Amino acid sequence: MEDFLQRFSLKGKTAWITGASYGLGLAYATAYAQSGAKIVFNDIKQELVDRGLEEYKKLGIDAYGAVCDVTKEDQVQEFVKKAEAEKGPIDILVNNAGIIKRIPMHEMSVEDWQMVVDIDLTGPFICSKAVLPGMMERRSGKIINACSMMSEFGRETVSAYAAAKGGLKMLTRNICSEYGQYNIQCNAIGPGYIATPQTRPLREKQPDGSMHPFDRFIRSKTPAQRWGRTEDLMGLAVFLASPASDFINGQVVYIDGGISAYIGQDPGNLDPSKFADEIEDDADVKKEG
């Protein structure tokens, strides 16, 4: 029998992670590079791509990066053509790019709703459609979608995001159903609450120095009583991109510190002195609330 651990290797593969200048995308790309893959990534503006290239260079990763808006099919098709010319056929796609808008639904504009759905749901459709023909021809491919707790649960102010991430769960299942016959696996990572720029507004200290109410709330719902760290997700990302997961298809794998299994406790019972330290990368990246 082959060396079992080789099944977790990405040696000789090319991985495209969308929106990977920082945050979870940067973590996935770093894990993939350290597992042997070549890296291509896009982001929405040149300054982010430049930031990403700088980060990858510091990590010793020779990545290809370019500006590409995942909601624009012409930009995506052009990106794939150039990226594959640089780094070879794309074997692994991680539909990571995403945004959230936290606005009460009755106050949310159609434009804001549409922007979230376009990026978080239509973007993965457009990017997956761009790489599927090559994967079908080679009879091999991995598509990994960025689902969320909001693929299963709702909460106030995130209607567009929850609808998009719920839809992304079903798109994951449908790509599995339609392309499994070509040895293409489509699964999703379902992170809990992870310390990145996207969630920083939910953790920031109050003007009086006290904990953000949501910070206290989410720790009372997490058995580990801590936010996730980007490195907590790297192992699962590599597993779902590797031959070791070839018989897993159409699944959302939740990596949430136990939130989805736990009814939670009274936030007032928490003892902040017992909290594990938060490690938040990308502190220079600012995000709206």
- List residues with catalytic annotation: 161
What are the structure tokens assigned to 286, written together?
């600012």
Region near ligand NAP per CB under 6 A, out of 42-50, 54-62, 217-225, 245-253: 42-50
User: 37: buried, middle or exposed (CB in 10 Å: 19+, 13-18, 0-12)?
Assistant: buried
For residue 238, which amino acid is it? V
CB of 276 to ligand GCO, least distance (A): 19
Q: Is 281 an interacting residue with respect to ligand NAP (CB under 6 A)?
A: no
Q: Is 126 an interacting residue with respect to ligand NAP (CB under 6 A)?
A: no
Q: Is 44 an interacting residue with respect to ligand NAP (CB under 6 A)?
A: yes
- Select 96 or 128, whichever has its Cβ closest to ligand NAP: 96
Q: Is 166 an interacting residue with respect to ligand NAP (CB under 6 A)?
A: no
Alpha-carbon distances, residue 203 vs 154, 157, 206 (angstroms): 19, 16, 9
Q: Which does 23 bind (CB under 5 to 8 A by kind): ligand GCO, ligand NAP, none?
A: ligand NAP
- The stretches of the chain forming alpha helices (DSSP H) are 23-34, 46-58, 73-87, 110-117, 123-138, 159-179, 213-220, 234-241
Alpha-carbon distances, residue 139 vs 77, 88, 136, 191 (angstroms): 20, 16, 5, 29
Q: Which does 155 bind (CB under 5 to 8 A by kind): ligand GCO, ligand NAP, none?
A: ligand GCO
- Select 138 or 155, whichever has its Cβ closest to ligand NAP: 155
DSSP code of residue 250: S
**What value, to the nearest 5°, has the Cα angle with vertex 288 and ends 119 and 17?**
40
Residues that bind ligand GCO (CB under 6 A): 100, 102, 148-150, 155, 158, 161, 191-193, 198-199, 202
Q: Which does 225 bind (CB under 5 to 8 A by kind): ligand GCO, ligand NAP, none?
A: none
Q: Is 236 an interacting residue with respect to ligand NAP (CB under 6 A)?
A: no
**Interface pick for ligand NAP out of 29, 121, 186, 194 (rule CB under 6 A):** 194
CB of 256 to ligand NAP, least distance (A): 9
What are the structure tokens assigned to 178, written together?
């339609």
Main-chain phi, psi angles of 153, to 5 degrees? -120, 150
Render 147-167 in DSSP notation, one character per residue. --GGGT---TT-HHHHHHHHH
- Residues contributing to the site for ligand NAP (CB under 6 A): 18-19, 21-25, 42-44, 48, 69-71, 96-99, 119, 123, 146, 148, 191, 193-194, 196-199
